[in-house]
Structure 1
Amino acid sequence: MYSGLLIVLLPLALGYGIPCRSRSIIHFINVAVARMVYLILFLMGISLAFVDDLSVHLGTIFTVCLVFLACITVANLAGLWLLDVKRGRLEGERGAPALSKWALLLDSAKLCLVILAGVLLGQLLDPEWFAVERLSEWALMLLLLLIGIQLRNSGMRLRQILLNRWGLAVALVVMVSSWGGGLAGAWLLGMPASQGLAFASGYGWYSLSGILISDQLGPVLGSAAFLNDLARELVAILIIPALMRRHPSCAIGYGGATAMDFTLPVLQRSGGVTVVPVAIVSGFILSLAGPVFILGFLSLTG
């Protein structure tokens, strides 16, 4: 039952075991990961095009996305608000001027356009000879290998993670509250609880959650998972500046795994350097936990 979990996580583990001190190689890997994300999302779009009566399933995609987004958002913000009540307001330096939200939103829009391009190309391809599932599987394994190398060489050490109690607390609250939201979403949609937990374990990592769920549950639910986590990232960009002063844990935690990369500049500019270690620790933990829990819960679907 867990063979699929081991096969997919093996490249991640192998990558995490590869030390690399060359800055040029690390830069190459970072660029390759960014390109691989576009490739895999493009292949996911082609897979979506191969679904019979795709227009009929669009309602399902957006309904599942919106229900999970609403449930997980409410659960996350409630849990992180309680953490802020215990910790109090953020004190310290003010952040730099805000980044252009339009530029960040444009980056996310590009990802949607890549999937759309895949759907359009998929209309011209024959699923009998174009082995999109096999290509997606190999591309995913390569992506996980590269991500494993990234995480190993991100500069984070176990001692740094364990000593940052705020970052640990944020990551734990995001995990547990996300599962609560996922269970609520699954109940509302009449889905198995294990699928709801898998949806909730993306933690904003849209490129990974969409691919893994698409591989296990099909491109319709995979697309819903992608949109759910992408929308979470977009909401985070919009609410971080408003939440940072009074509710810093909410601002840091809601972005989930993206707190260590995509939303990190927004967090730094809104809360100053004080929040950077917290964001990196919480994002790092959620990045490691995401694929493990997604595949673990999907393996229970059977």
Structure 2
Amino acid sequence: MFSGMLFIFAPLVVGYFISISKKSLLGTINSTTSNLIYVILALMGLSLAALDNLGENLQLILKTTAVFFVCLSLSNLAVLPFIDRWLPIKTDANNSKLPLSEMVMESAKLILVVGGGLIAGLLIPIDLSWVDTASEWILFLLLFFIGIQLRNSGLTLRQILLNKHGMVIAIVIIATSLFGGLVSALILDIDIFHGLAMASGFGWYSLAGILMGDAFGPVYGGASFMIELLRELISLVLIPLFIRTKPCTSIGYAGATAMDFTLPVIQTTGGVRCVPIAIVSGFILSLLVPVLMLFFVSLAG
């Protein structure tokens, strides 16, 4: 049952054990990872183009996205405010302007890449039978590089364990997301382990979409991508509005993106005290996205 999980998970583990001190090499790995994400998302678009009854499948993607997004968001936001009451944080925000438009454009680029692959697959009469195999091999390479990135992120186990806020936020996001995934699976009448796997993206839209597409097909992959992308876009709006009064809620809802994409917004609007909390919670969630997703995929298989 776990053989498929171990096969896919192996590159991540191998990468995590590689320590790199040369900054130029890390920079090359980071840029290569970004480029691979664009490539594999374009392949996701091609996979969608190869689907029979594309119109019906797109409706299914939108329906699945809507149900999961609502259930996950409500589950997260129902519990996160209690952390702010239990472990209050005094923010030291400033009024610097945020490049929100640039961040939204970065997200829009990813949507355009998937859309470009879809359009190319529909308009160009080519055989698309190779797409799934190519996606799998690129996924292995991508997980290897992601493992290296996580290993060389600069966080030690001691730093993670000593940051109570970051650990509690991550635990709450994991528990409430899995509950939301269970509810979503019941509403959509799908396999429970499919729902739990879909709920384990925690905002990492590129990897979540890739893993779900590889495991369950382009419909689930497209829905997972949109669910987590919506989380990120909503976070960009919610963080500036609520981080001064509910910092833990704002950081927690950002999920895995709190350690990278939404970190500048958190730092600017919440202050430097929020930064280590965001990095720790984001790191834990990022580390567990492939672990939990592949675990539930193996159970569903």
Please indicate, yes or no, whether the TM-score normalized by the shorter chain is above 0.5: yes
1:46 partner amino acid = L
Alpha-carbon separation, structure 2, partners of 1:294 and 1:216:
10
Alpha-carbon separation, structure 1, partners of 2:258 and 2:193:
26
Alpha-carbon separation, structure 2, partners of 1:167 and 1:237:
19
Please name the residue that 1:213 is paired with. Answer: 212
- TM-score where L is the length of structure 1: 0.97
Once the two structures are superposed, the pairs formed by residues 109-128 of structure 1 within 5 Å of their partners are 109-123=108-122, 124-127=124-127
Q: Is the 8 A contact 2:203 2:228 kept in 1?
A: yes
2:81 partner amino acid = W
1:159 CA displacement: 0.6
Once the two structures are superposed, the pairs formed by residues 20-99 of structure 1 within 5 Å of their partners are 20-88=20-88, 90-99=89-98
1:85 CA displacement: 1.7
Alpha-carbon separation, structure 2, partners of 1:32 and 1:139:
11
Please name the residue that 1:261 is paired with. Answer: 260
Q: Is the 8 A contact 2:91 2:244 kept in 1?
A: no
Once the two structures are superposed, the pairs formed by residues 58-207 of structure 1 within 5 Å of their partners are 58-88=58-88, 90-123=89-122, 124-127=124-127, 130-207=129-206
1:188 partner amino acid = I
Please name the residue that 1:246 is paired with. Answer: 245
Count of residue correspondences: 300
Q: Is the 8 A contact 1:50 1:127 kept in 2?
A: no
2:31 partner amino acid = V
Alpha-carbon separation, structure 2, partners of 1:106 and 1:239:
17
What are the Cα deviations for residues 174-232 of structure 1, in whole angstroms up to 9, with x where unaligned?
00010111111111111111111111100011111111111111101110010000011
1:126 CA displacement: 3.5
Structure 1 residue ranges, 4+ long, deviating more than 6 angstroms after superposition: none
What are the Cα deviations for residues 132-186 of structure 1, in whole angstroms up to 9, with x where unaligned?
1111011111111111111111101011011111100000000001011111111
Alpha-carbon separation, structure 1, partners of 2:91 and 2:45:
45
Unaligned runs of 5+ in 2: none
For residue 52 of structure 1, give the secondary structure of its aligned residue in structure 2: coil
Alpha-carbon separation, structure 1, partners of 2:91 and 2:54:
51
Please name the residue that 2:288 is paired with. Answer: 289
- TM-score where L is the length of structure 2: 0.97
Q: Is the 8 A contact 1:81 1:249 kept in 2?
A: yes
Please name the residue that 1:236 is paired with. Answer: 235
Alpha-carbon separation, structure 1, partners of 2:213 and 2:139:
11
1:148 partner amino acid = G
1:278 partner amino acid = I
Note the aligned Cα RMSD (angstroms).
1.2
1:122 partner amino acid = G
